[in-house]
DNA sequence: TCTGGGGTCCTAGGACCC
DNA sequence: TCTGGGGTCCTAGGACCC
């Protein structure tokens, strides 16, 4: 796959001569931050792996029957109006002929690692922000004297060789780079030259800036603030009273005055929490079903904790009754654990406080956090909980969990299930 | 036949301590 | 005749991101 011709958009007012000077790497003043975003990433990998799907609408997402949503739509599917986070039933209506797949996450991760390795090879300082996005620092003179624009072009060309494409935004800070990357997609390179950030940002709606979602957008609209230009002229103190620490930061970022640091992060950085959740095709209403679901989801979390070598002391139970009503409860454990028999029982203990028998539940989530904590030892003195006060039984149950991991590892994740797994329909 | 699943960060209120 | 105020920790919920 070749980079598209003519997709470079340089937002500036320099004349030709100035631009040539920049190509030699001496024209860029100040920091140069890039944001690389893979184009329709999951769908593109599917099209790479299934040549017969190329040029056709492909949707990676959940089943209609399971109340799923679209994860990624290929550009062909987008022409029908399909986009990420759209309920699958809507997408199916808009584009009945689309090719559907639930996705292959391990494969996306593998491709992601190869892309990130390319970026890391071009500049030593990168901050991976998700599976398909990374900031990188190409400030002239810091790691190389080369033009930042040339480095971006080369990253795009090398990613293309993998069979997928990316878009890049380049500017003096992260806010500008991120918004620029969305300007021209797919395969775009949008450069906001130093000094141009205020005029680049000013006409854009506030929601274009990451960190401003629909709730903040609504509150800003109430104040008559619709564009980043308007946001940039607000009194930081007034904004702090209304929006907390985020207020003044919004103003700085909207004005293009943010000073960003690219923090070296890769995907091996330790997570702060591990959680799984399941939405059910049909709401759960009985205590039996619900308890079985909590145990099942706890098992998913336990397997991942053990694979990552993490033990935590904080367990969270999450129940979603309907789209607007979600409740969570947390409990601290006596000792760090990675065993669902321990934290799963604690999660079941939280159930009583959150749920009244008969209330329909559409989603059950279980999370474990507190990975650098030794646990609430003192509190354990008062624990009546059998699994917590009988260390021998606890150890035996963990052996069972590890054995189950190994069976699933060898024979597939459906090879083994506990009795409670059969008590509800996922 | 009406919106997933994986995360992070911030805030507000209550408990508790001094 | 009586309840301030600061600090810290914990918990629940909300906003946001991809």
pLDDT in tens, A322-346: 888 899 999 999 889 999 999 999 9
Instruction: Give the neighbor-by-neighbor strand order of the sheet with A189-192.
Output: A8-11, A189-192, A166-171, A33-38, A133-137, A126-130
pTM of the shown model: 0.87
CA distance between the termini of chain A: 40
Q: Could you tell me the two tokens for A371?
A: 């990975």
Nucleotide nearest to A369 (CA to C1'): B7
Indicate yes or no: strand B within 7 A of the C-beta of A365: yes
Q: Are A157 and A165 in contact (CB under 8 A)?
A: no
CA atoms within 13 A on the CB side of A421: 11
Nucleotides of C under 7 A from a protein CB: 10-18
What is each CA distance from A230 to A97, A199, A224, A233, A250, in whole angstroms? 44, 12, 9, 6, 11
Exactly one of A133, A340, A345, A388 is catalytic; name it: A133
- C6 C1' to A79 CA distance, Å: 59
Indicate yes or no: strand B within 7 A of the C-beta of A271: yes
Footprint of strand C on the protein (CB under 7 A): A 85, 129-133, 178, 209-217, 314, 326-332, 353
pLDDT in tens, A42-79: 999 999 999 999 999 999 999 998 899 999 999 999 99
Interatomic CA distance for residues A404 and A416, integer angstroms: 7
Q: What is the dihedral of CA A393, A398, A403, A409, to 10 degrees?
A: 160
Interatomic CA distance for residues A127 and A177, integer angstroms: 13
- B10 C1' to A19 CA distance, Å: 43
Indicate yes or no: strand B within 7 A of the C-beta of A321: no
- C13 C1' to A223 CA distance, Å: 25
Low-confidence stretches of chain A (pLDDT < 50) are 1-3, 5-6, 13-15, 377-389
Is A426 catalytic? The answer is no
Q: Are A88 and A61 in contact (CB under 8 A)?
A: yes
Indicate yes or no: strand B within 7 A of the C-beta of A248: no
Indicate yes or no: strand B within 7 A of the C-beta of A367: yes
pLDDT at A390: 55
Average pLDDT for chain A: 87
Indicate yes or no: strand B within 7 A of the C-beta of A199: no
Nucleotide nearest to A68 (CA to C1'): B4
pLDDT at A401: 80
Interatomic CA distance for residues A199 and A227, integer angstroms: 12
- C3 C1' to A217 CA distance, Å: 42
- C5 C1' to A332 CA distance, Å: 29
pLDDT at A373: 81
Indicate yes or no: strand B within 7 A of the C-beta of A102: no
Nucleotide nearest to A218 (CA to C1'): C15
Nucleotides of B under 7 A from a protein CB: 1-12
């Amino acid at each position: 796959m070749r980079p598209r011709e003519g997709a470079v958009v340089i937002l500036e007012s320099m004349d030709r001569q100035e631009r040539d000077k920049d190509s030699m790497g001496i024209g860029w003043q100040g920091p140069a931050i890039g944001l690389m975003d893979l184009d329709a990433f999951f769908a593109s990998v599917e099209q790479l792996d299934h040549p017969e799907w190329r040029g056709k609408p492909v949707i990676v997402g959940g089943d209609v029957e399971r109340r799923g949503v679209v994860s990624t739509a290929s550009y062909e599917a987008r022409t029908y109006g399909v986009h990420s986070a759209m309920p699958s039933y809507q997408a199916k209506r808009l584009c009945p002929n689309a090719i559907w797949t639930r996705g292959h996450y391990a494969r996306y991760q593998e491709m992601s690692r190869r892309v990130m390795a390319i970026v890391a090879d071009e500049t030593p300082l990168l901050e991976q922000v998700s599976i398909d996005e990374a900031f990188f620092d190409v400030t002239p003179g810091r790691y190389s004297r080369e033009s930042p624009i040339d480095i971006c072009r080369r990253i795009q060309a090398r990613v293309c060789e993998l069979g997928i494409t990316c878009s890049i935004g380049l500017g003096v800070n992260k806010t500008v780079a991120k918004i620029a990357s969305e300007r021209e997609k797919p395969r775009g390179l949008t450069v906001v030259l130093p000094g141009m950030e205020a005029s680049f940002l000013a006409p854009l709606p506030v929601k274009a800036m990451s960190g401003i979602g629909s709730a903040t957008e609504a509150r800003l609209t109430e104040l008559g603030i619709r564009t980043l230009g308007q946001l940039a002229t607000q009194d930081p103190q007034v904004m702090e009273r209304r929006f907390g620490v985020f207020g003044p930061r919004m103003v700085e970022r909207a004005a293009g005055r943010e000073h960003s640091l690219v923090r070296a992060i890769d995907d091996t950085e330790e997570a702060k929490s591990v959680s799984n959740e399941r939405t059910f095709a049909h709401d759960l209403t009985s205590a039996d079903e619900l308890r079985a679901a909590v145990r099942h989801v706890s098992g998913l979390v336990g397997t991942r904790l053990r694979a990552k070598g993490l033990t935590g002391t904080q367990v969270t139970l999450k129940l979603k009754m309907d789209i607007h009503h979600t409740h969570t409860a947390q409990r601290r454990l006596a000792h760090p654990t990675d065993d669902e028999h321990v934290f799963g029982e604690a999660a079941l203990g939280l159930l009583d406080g959150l749920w009244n028998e008969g209330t329909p539940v559409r989603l059950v989530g279980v999370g474990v956090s507190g990975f650098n904590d030794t646990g609430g030892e003192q509190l354990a003195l008062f624990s009546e909980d059998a699994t917590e006060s009988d260390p021998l039984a606890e150890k035996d149950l963990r052996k069972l969990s590890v054995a189950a991991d190994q069976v699933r590892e060898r024979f597939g994740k459906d090879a083994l299930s506990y009795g409670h797994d059969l008590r509800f329909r996922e």
